[in-house]
Amino acid sequence: MNECCAVVDLRQYTLHPGQRDDLIEVFDTYLVEGQEQTGMHIVGQFRDLDDPDRFVWIRGFRDLPARADALNAFYYGPVWRAHAAAANVTMIDSDNALLLKPVQLGAGYPTLDAPRPDSPATSVIGGAVYHRAAEDDGFVEFFTDQVVPVLSATGAEPVAVLESLVAENNFPPLPLRDEVVLTWFARFADDTAYDEHRRQLAASRVWQQRVLPELVCRSAKPAQELRLRPTARSQFR
């Protein structure tokens, strides 16, 4: 298991039209180290390739108490005080957030000491969020046994698989979505590699006839597909 983190936030922000690059400039310049100085791990931050007004990011914490400590230290501290206005003015909604715990983290998932580049990325981080009926629904076992083999065979071996951490939100100023999910992420070298995975998946008889129908039946509502481009300073790329 990656040494960090046992608790993960997946956050998706809806932004005012044309404001995403402005937020990314503030985030990558000031808010990465500003948060990590309080004990968080900023794993990755992304442009959603299917929505020009969505910014997606992932951060981790050692455990739940560390989450409360870090969030209090950051959001009531000097870095956020200095840059909150510039960040918030770009946002329509910042409440689309999930509290997660790792099911599996592969070698490609950034560690705390992973290099943080400062260069454009051509890679794609793809994945999905599956909406579940209940915490004890057997979804993790189904995903591990049935879904992962097909994803891996079509070029999308998951780098990270996470599920909901069902716990009270210990930093109420930042709301969390009240639902149970499973989400996964895989890395693709470029758009061509991602498109080839989608082509192979569409052509897979096992996926189309057996796995996908059961996935739909087990889901409380349609999955959210994710196709993300890392920002210049994202570790996960």
Q: For position 56, which CATH number holds? A: 3.30.70.100
Q: Is residue 99 part of a domain?
A: yes
Check if the beta carbon of residue 11 is closer than 8 Å to that of residue 215.
Answer: no
Considering the domain boundaries, does residue 13 fall inside one? yes
pLDDT at residue 130, as a whole number: 98
CA 117 to chain centre: 19
183 compared with 115, residue with greater pLDDT: 183
The bridge status of strand 91-105 relative to strand 7-15 is: antiparallel
84 pLDDT higher than 50: yes
What average pLDDT score do residues 56-85 get? 98
Tokens of 193: 């590699």
CA–CA separation, 117 and 61 (whole Å): 21
The pLDDT value given to residue 3: 56
Residue 1 lies in a domain: no
Confidence grade of residue 187 (pLDDT, cut at 50, 70, 90): very high
State pTM to two decimals: 0.96
The first and second tokens of residue 236, run together, are 């996960």
pLDDT digit string (tens) for 5-28? 899 999 999 999 999 999 999 999
Q: Is residue 235 part of a domain?
A: no
What's the average model confidence in pLDDT over 42-70? 98
**Distance separating alpha carbons of residues 147 and 237, to the nearest angstrom:** 23
The reported pLDDT for the residue numbered 1 is 44
pLDDT band at 72 (very low <50, low <70, confident <90, very high): very high
Which backbone phi and psi does 139 adopt, to 5 degrees? -65, -40
Query: Would you give the end-to-end CA distance of the chain in angstroms?
Result: 19
Q: Is residue 237 part of a domain?
A: no
Give residue for tokens 């070029």. 155
Res. 68: pLDDT tops 80? yes
| pLDDT reading at 91 higher than 80 | yes
207 contact partners, CB below 8 Å, separation of at least 6:
150, 154, 201
CA distance 100 to 65: 15
Burial string for 187-201 (b: 16+ CB within 10 Å, else e) reads bbeeeeebeebbeeb
Q: Is residue 92 part of a domain?
A: yes
Q: Does residue 125 lie in a domain region? A: yes
Q: What is the mean pLDDT of residues 190-210?
A: 98
Question: Residue 78 corresponds to which tokens in the numbers above?
Answer: 């000097």
C-alpha angle 143-145-151 in degrees, rounded to nearest 5: 65
Percent of the chain predicted with pLDDT > 90:
97
- How confident is the model at residue 225, as a pLDDT? 98
The per-residue DSSP string of 103-114 comes to EEE-TTSPPTTS
Report how far residue 124's alpha carbon sits from residue 130's, in angstroms, rounded to the nearest whole number: 19
Q: What is the mean pLDDT of residues 192-209?
A: 98
Give the mean pLDDT of 198-227.
98
Domain count, the chain: 1
Confidence at residue 5, expressed as pLDDT on a 0 to 100 scale:
87
Between 188 and 3, name the one with better pLDDT: 188
Question: Can you tell me the mean pLDDT for 171-199?
Answer: 98
Domain that holds residue 20: 7-230
| Residue with more model confidence, 2 or 20 | 20
Would you say residue 160 has pLDDT above 80?
yes
Q: Is the pLDDT of residue 220 over 50?
A: yes
In a domain, 159, yes or no: yes
Token pair in block for residue 68: 């409360």
Mean pLDDT, the chain, integer: 97
Q: How many CB atoms lie within 10 A of CB 210?
A: 13
